[in-house]
A and B are shown apart, each in its own frame.
Chain A
């Protein structure tokens, strides 16, 4: 309970100081976002206490803190997006609460794995046909209903984790010990691998066709991680990495977009006004943050393209400094640690794998986008979980956390 005070305080202090920077005065009505967060957080906490008293106590405060950080930054950079993010947050918290308290024994996820996977893939395929790209970057990743955009690749991630967790829980032993003998060589048991690989390959192809390369990278990593976690066989990892190297190189050769991203990654200074503009401006923003940042509301991260979504980490670093960035990294590490701990202590193969998979999903996503912004790896256009603007992403991540909380609530202490 006490931990919750941190995000509440952050929300209040944050909205108040932003009002001060903006207009120099504070009105009670103007601070409604802080009130919503406090009330919402409190409601979830009460719900969990009543319905899932064993649930982890650290995850909710960490989640709220990250979400508040994102909200504050988005509200400052793009106020109309900020309001929308608020709406998504409220809906997402509702989803989180529902799942954490009422998800039952998760049979409904485990049993219908192919249905879930198919649903995700169909939605993804739809975007190829009737998708829209409101961001104007050419990648048509959204389905639109009226003025609301919905990005199918986001829920697909969770659905894929569900599918993999269920499938791997069932086929675990076969995948661990079987092999096909071809003379002296032991091959992995293809018949058992096949359904997974089909689903997985299909997702990858769709994503590559959509040019959503960040998601493709994420899916690949996720699949590999879950396969390893279920079977504890490092040969799968080795095989997977080899496939990755081959695949990545092929993409580099065949897809101009990939080549461009890699070129910008290797030397952004060659074209700082053109293709590498976002990367360079992002790095400048990070540099401008220094150790302790410019101060809330006082950076000028508006100069970085997509500062409210893909590049929100740069905006946060400019205002909160290196200290802030390290704190955010710390929060994700904390979230990951709690999630994996839940996976280790819970019973039931499916629950274990589901918890571990969802945790890995969130952590990997944070790693990939942060790595791109910090120029450790080429930039990809995915969101920073909980922080970036994006309704689908926020809903999906909160749903995933809801499931993790539910699993933690069901396990014996």
Chain B
């Protein structure tokens, strides 16, 4: 019998060994992926136990902060207008926007040595997150929110020299303080308040795209600033496809800057054809088209349309003045303005400039950086001058505050059907040594010069006075 006992013992030992192997498998091999599962309630419990860091404006005003209550952490948002950019933090719904992009820092999980983390854990002190200092200028932000008002649209205000994001407006927005209560309404709202229109909304740009076409045409030497154009009829036929000027100024010859300022579709269609599809597309890509934006949050890539459309003459002609299949984000157009204002260099958008511990020590400094060179300095100068002409003599006049010289371009993007066009404006101020660059978009509202430009004027005033 002893032999049998031994055998049974060996078999059971082998089974226990199998258990040990299985235990190691689940614990070590699958452990990390199991812990990350969304149905792991520990994550929620942990989230509620963390003193999440604050998000502050450039001047130190609190935009988001966490209070620890008996039920756990509660996040308060002081300025709902920034919700599309700042995002939300919800123990049950997750994070979005900046809350998501800087989640590790806000949770204090980065730049935090593991020894103090272990000590904190043992003593059960609520884990401290780090604060974010943003580049947002709350005066400008408020002015922009008020200027856009109840209308759907987006505004982006940048410092063209550093790429600092000074204001970000996306209407309609939602109140992140009531996210859990109103989740269904917010999610199902047909106007998509959760969308950050500045970086995620794609729209036909209309004439503001002429800035890119102009820059590309000058860079590729298919035209020059003193070229004179004649356009008496306001009509141009491309392979049987008619191209109209929408706002013919009434004079039939003008130089390139004035062709730009009067937003002459005919001229720009011709410039597009002179460039050809390849070079037109490349010129847009030099400004950043075709890629996600240099922003810390999720963004959409702007595009000049499908190759199959561009490589047809009518498609290329219409794309050259911002119709056809061209789709842009407001941020991309603001970057175009910034690049022109900044000697042809497109900056990276800086939203968070510092990460600080709660005791004020600077843990991380994010420096301004260049993203890419769109055009060489000389070309940028020429485009700048064209935009100054547009702002003084052209249809962008209504965007110019009295006493301040600016550069600008309006756009009226046709959307087809019976809907009103999108009103656009991009520009910079002051004309010499620009300090701000912006893009304004008001959805389905009318003419760029009538609707978007006056908003820009108010913002230039707010920024520079």
Contact = CB atoms under 8 A, between A and B. Distances in A.
Centre residue among B27, B32, B35, B41 by max chain A CB count within 10 A:
B27
A272 B22 contact: no
B5 A343 contact: yes
Contact of A229 (B5, B13, B42, B124): B5
A161 B96 CA distance: 62
A288 B12 contact: no
A21 B124 CA distance: 9
Nearest to A345: B2
Given A303-B41, A326-B20, A352-B1, A290 B27 contact: yes
A322 interface: yes
Contact of A337 (B9, B39, B45, B124): B9
B122 A295 contact: yes
Interface string B90-127: 00000000000000000000000000000001101000
B465 interface: no
A376 B22 contact: yes
Chain B interface helix/strand/loop/mixed: helix
B1 A322 contact: no
A367 B15 contact: yes
Contact of A329 (B2, B16, B41): B16
Interface in B1-18: 1-9, 12-13, 15-16, 18
Contacts of A114: none
A283 interface: yes
Contacts of A352: 1, 5
Interface in B389-430: none
B5 A356 contact: yes
Nearest to A20: B124
A303 B46 CA distance: 13
A117 to B, nearest CB: 22
B374 to A, nearest CB: 49
B27 A291 contact: yes
Contacts of A229: 1, 4-5, 8
Contacts of A287: 26-27, 30-35
Contacts of B464: none
Contact of B22 (A284, A360, A374): A374
B28 interface: yes
B35 A374 contact: no
B189 to A, nearest CB: 28
B222 interface: no
Contacts of A360: 8, 12
A363 B16 CA distance: 9
Interface residues of A, number: 49
Interface in A278-304: 280-281, 283-284, 286-291, 295, 298, 300, 303
Nearest to A297: B124
B5, B18, B33 — most chain A CB neighbours (10 Å): B5
A321 B27 contact: yes
A288 B39 contact: no
A370 interface: yes
A363 B40 CA distance: 32
Q: Chain A: interface secondary structure?
A: helix
A344 B42 contact: no
Best-buried of A230, A287, A340, A363 by chain B (most CB within 10 Å):
A287
Contact of A322 (B13, B15, B28, B122): B28
Nearest to B29: A287
A356 B41 contact: no
B24 interface: yes
Contacts of B362: none
Nearest to A280: B39
Contact of A371 (B19, B28, B122): B19
A291 B29 CA distance: 11
A229 B35 CA distance: 44
Contacts of B1: 229-230, 232, 349, 352-353, 356
A364 interface: yes
B46 to A, nearest CB: 9
Interface string B124-141: 100000000000000000
A322 B16 contact: no
A121 interface: no
Given A228-B4, A287-B31, A288-B42, A340 B23 contact: no
A376 B19 contact: yes
Contact of A374 (B5, B12, B23, B28): B23
A344 B6 contact: yes
Contact of A283 (B7, B30, B122): B30
Nearest to A366: B16
A230 B45 CA distance: 54
Contacts of A321: 27
Contacts of A167: none
A291 B23 contact: no
Contact of B31 (A288, A333, A340, A353): A288
Interface in B220-241: none
Interface string B35-71: 1010111100100000000000000000000000000
Query: Quick one: which of A332, A344, A349 has the most chain B CB within 10 A?
Result: A344
Contacts of A344: 2, 5-6
Given A336-B9, A374-B26, 12 more contacts: A273-B39, A284-B34, A286-B26, A288-B31, A289-B27, A295-B121, A295-B122, A326-B24, A329-B20, A340-B5, A340-B9, A344-B5
5 contacts: A283-B34, A284-B34, A356-B8, A364-B12, A374-B19
